[in-house]
Chain A
């Protein structure tokens, strides 16, 4: 257990010592990955069990998800997915197409795509006049 916390302290040290685009992306990729794995379980257990029970409980649950709180959480989810997806594609491009030398440039191209995706998502989610 002590070793585990020491390893976490080392992580903080590593992040401080290597303040590069790659470290930043690596760290965020891991955090978003863990969040998404947690989300898959929630998604599977909550939606699965209500879908199993049938129309009544499923439609009830979906009705509750229309609340503003869930809209914001969903917006955050799209953000987490977009980052993980775009950065993941950057990793695959670097690995499979031998573009390691261009990985920083690809990161910033990805950042622009990420911002574009989030602007489009916020328009779809929160603009009442756009429907």
Chain B
């Protein structure tokens, strides 16, 4: 792992954590206190044509996916074979880590696109 990239991931993990604290506070207070009734038309009234909520959900989803998948990678990295014996094993571990990373990126991007499609279908943003 490139050390400046590792630092950037460490930093982004904390920044997304702070974004998530703010978003989760809004999300939970809204859906448990202010508007606890979970009906389709109520959600639609709130988000339709509303740029704030569109921006809110984009930021929320991006932060949550990055934070969750980066955290998962961080954990997997510790329990993947660490191949300390020999260059061949080290290379194998490197490949395994890269594959894991790519898999998580594809999963994250797919989830983000899916979320955006659902949001786009009903928000009718101009």
Contacts and interface: CB of A to CB of B under 8 A. Distances in A.
- Closest 6 pairs between A and B when the two form their complex, measured CB to CB: A3-B81, A37-B68, A55-B40, A62-B38, A58-B40, A48-B118
A34 interface: yes
Given A3-B82, A44-B114, A51-B40, A34 B64 contact: no
B24 A48 contact: no
30 contacts: A3-B81, A3-B83, A4-B79, A4-B80, A8-B79, A30-B75, A33-B71, A34-B71, A34-B75, A37-B69, A37-B72, A40-B64, A40-B65, A41-B111, A44-B114, A44-B115, A48-B114, A48-B115, A51-B43, A51-B118, A54-B40, A58-B40, A62-B38, A78-B28, A81-B24, A85-B20, A85-B21, A85-B24, A92-B17, A96-B14
Q: Per DSSP, are chain B's interface residues mostly helix, strand or loop, or mixed?
A: helix
Contacts of A59: 39-40
A88 B17 contact: yes
Q: Per DSSP, are chain A's interface residues mostly helix, strand or loop, or mixed?
A: helix
A55 B41 contact: yes
A65 B72 CA distance: 28
A: contact size bracket: 20 to 34
B14 to A, nearest CB: 5
B122 interface: yes
A63 B102 CA distance: 38
Contacts of A65: 38
Interface string B71-92: 1100100111111000000000
